[in-house]
Structure 1
């Protein structure tokens, strides 16, 4: 029991008590490192959320703008269609020339093309909105 005297026991406890003192700086540095990593991850999460919200907002704005444009073009097309029908009646009555009727038809076809293009834009915006809210294609 020579090795188990009080001096050896106290030295063992004293040495063990000194270990956390020397590793305390490393533990503090490790804690700071993990805290910085957590803060960076949290900032990336916030940035991702803001980007997603911005994409949804942009898609909604584009959809509303193009839908309003589609309605406007559709109304213009319907008015032009009525005008063309009146021009056909005038042509059959001999009040306008064939050239005037063809110009009215050309205008009607141009308006129809605008309606189709604006409707296509609406479909594209709906797909963009679907993707922005997390839909998979």
Structure 2
């Protein structure tokens, strides 16, 4: 799906593949840019594969949100060895550009350059807790949306 429909060069199934081995295959010269929304073990697998001068953007850490003992990156010294940088990015920092972003994304969608997929759950507000947990269990395909009324 990620390769065939969304146009990426490669994809790694973090549940069914050895991430470190797959990164060696798909990024033999190292990872230049990594946008992290996961944290935890996935981030730890990527850090040793960074290319020199790589950039890591941290935008979330979904693997840590429900953890009673959240952990930070264990392989952070790879940032030093590879002269890489890691910085945080919060979407609210760009609130003054939301309209520009919406317009650009809408144009790309209309041109077929951007594909989206929604997984619509039904059941109203009462279904919210289970729907939210589907998100954390990775049981959705695409943007998970809860339909609360027609």
Q: TM-score range by the shorter chain?
A: under 0.3
Greater relative CO (CA pairs within 8 A, separation 6+):
1
TM-score (norm 1): 0.17
TM-score by length of 2: 0.16
Structure with max Cα Rg:
1
- Structure holding more strand per residue: 2
